[in-house]
Structure 1
């Protein structure tokens, strides 16, 4: 039988390749950075070629490393699944998942039956409380968050691109003082989600009105309540395209042209969580089924 490199060296290589950092990978494997580097170097000596390009404060897979990762990472994941299956005793898999209520109702719940049919062993504990990123690894295994930036210590995959919509009730166009120009927002209340505090700023910048201020700004932590407030004429909501299209509320209309937004939905978890079967099943399903375009890693 052909001699193989140590499994510890293979595991170190895959972890560094996935995280792009010796320090982060060492933390996940409970090793010192020098010890992890030695394992990677041992694999490179075994292969007879470098697998990474070493740059200033960075380590990046080269072409040989990319090829090796594509061939051995699935095998390593399959080994982990086999160990999980043998040690779990056939027990159910449970995933503690953080979600925004609006994303859960608009995107996840309509497709959840497909996930259940494909993986009847997987059960979700859905958590809609705030501070999802901070609670990963504690009360949450994974989360889908709405953010402009993600904590660099986390594993993250972008799920979409968005545009900011200004959403208001139809009466805003029918009254004696109709809202027809962006400047007219100065006499209205801006409704802004606490998870997207920069949406109004993004919109006014795109409109070429950096000094524009609404009459006042009301903050919400619930997308559905924001939409209802807009439908009741309490202000105009600065939300994303998905929120407007998903509302299907005839009382609401889009004011003005949408503008590009830096906010995206992201799948996030602690890097070590990807080694658990429940997280990996959900991660792969989300990227394959709920993602409207190829996901890009941060």
Structure 2
């Protein structure tokens, strides 16, 4: 039998590579930072090469580390799932899902009880860290992504089509000089999500206002915070119709009756071979049946 490095060293390597920090990985594995570092060094000595570029505040896998992570991380996850299923009172299957927080809170979580009732064996590990598509196979089994399109090498199922709404505080239409005309955009701050940078440009072109500029453009990486900023009168948010409808926030109103198709959609994405995994198939089928009705 081939000699293998200690499993604890492999576990430590994967944790550091995924989190980019010895401190965070040590917390996750309930170890001291020096103890975790020693385990990583054990693996490096076993392989006879370094696996990380060590920086002041971060540990970044080098080319050898990236290659090793891609090969062993899925195997370690499968091993963990197998052990958990053997020690659990029920036959648990687990899905590591990447999802944006706003989609999770507005559209996914309100329906998860239905999924649990139908498939009590399926449990979700939720990851909202972003850039999920790039991490498929390295800690994530599947992702609900917001994008224009998806790499054709991946399996992707569109979940919706949407309109771009201009969302603002109700006070904007109730004040003495209400905001009723698109030209008044020049007096306002536009709020744009970093994952949807073209929503403002698409809306402006459809409105025939290609030359008009807002007072400023503020960028957010949180849809929930964008909606709150709009409700507080800090700017007008260029977001999806579904974001507005699902928020059901009486402080918010849709501004301007201009129909603009969004260039972005929500997608279910995974690697093609991941469809062989039971939790991926269960969740994919349920998600499309439950939330994918607006994808025509």
Query: Using the alignment, how far apart are the partners of 2:111 and 2:269 within structure 1?
Result: 19
- Deviation larger for 161-170 or 284-293: 284-293
Matched position secondary structure for 1:134: helix
Query: Using the alignment, how far apart are the partners of 1:191 and 1:138 within structure 2?
Result: 32
Aligned to 1:43: none
What is the TM-score normalised by the length of structure 1? 0.67
- CA drift of 1:174 comes to 2.6
Matched position secondary structure for 2:134: coil
Aligned to 1:207: 207
Query: Using the alignment, how far apart are the partners of 1:173 and 1:106 within structure 2?
Result: 26
Point out 4+ residue stretches in structure 1 off by more than 3 angstroms.
Answer: 88-91
- CA drift of 1:289 comes to 1.2
1:127-167 CA-to-partner distances (Å, cap 9, x unmatched) read 11110111111121101111112122211000111000000
Aligned to 1:237: 237
Query: Using the alignment, how far apart are the partners of 1:171 and 1:216 within structure 2?
Result: 20
- CA drift of 1:224 comes to 1.1
1:28-85 CA-to-partner distances (Å, cap 9, x unmatched) read xxxxxxxxxxxxxxxxxxxxxxxxxxxxxxxxxxxxxxxxxxxxxxxxxxxxxxxxx9
- CA drift of 1:285 comes to 0.6
List gaps (5 residues or longer) in structure 1: 1-84
Alignment of 1:1-298 (within 5 A): 91-257=91-257, 258-293=259-294, 295=295
What is the TM-score normalised by the length of structure 2? 0.68
Query: Using the alignment, how far apart are the partners of 1:115 and 1:228 within structure 2?
Result: 29
Query: Using the alignment, how far apart are the partners of 1:157 and 1:286 within structure 2?
Result: 10
Query: Using the alignment, how far apart are the partners of 2:149 and 2:210 within structure 1?
Result: 22
1:200-238 CA-to-partner distances (Å, cap 9, x unmatched) read 001001101122211111111111110110011100000
Query: Using the alignment, how far apart are the partners of 2:291 and 2:146 within structure 1?
Result: 15
Query: Using the alignment, how far apart are the partners of 1:170 and 1:153 within structure 2?
Result: 44
Matched position secondary structure for 2:133: coil
Aligned to 1:81: none
Query: Using the alignment, how far apart are the partners of 1:210 and 1:135 within structure 2?
Result: 37
- CA drift of 1:280 comes to 0.6
Matched position secondary structure for 2:179: coil
- CA drift of 1:249 comes to 1.1
Query: Using the alignment, how far apart are the partners of 1:216 and 1:150 within structure 2?
Result: 31
Matched position secondary structure for 1:218: strand
Matched position secondary structure for 1:112: helix
- CA drift of 1:178 comes to 2.2
Matched position secondary structure for 1:162: coil
Matched position secondary structure for 1:94: strand
Query: Using the alignment, how far apart are the partners of 2:191 and 2:293 within structure 1?
Result: 27
- CA drift of 1:177 comes to 3.1
- CA drift of 1:175 comes to 2.5
List gaps (5 residues or longer) in structure 2: 1-81
Matched position secondary structure for 1:195: coil
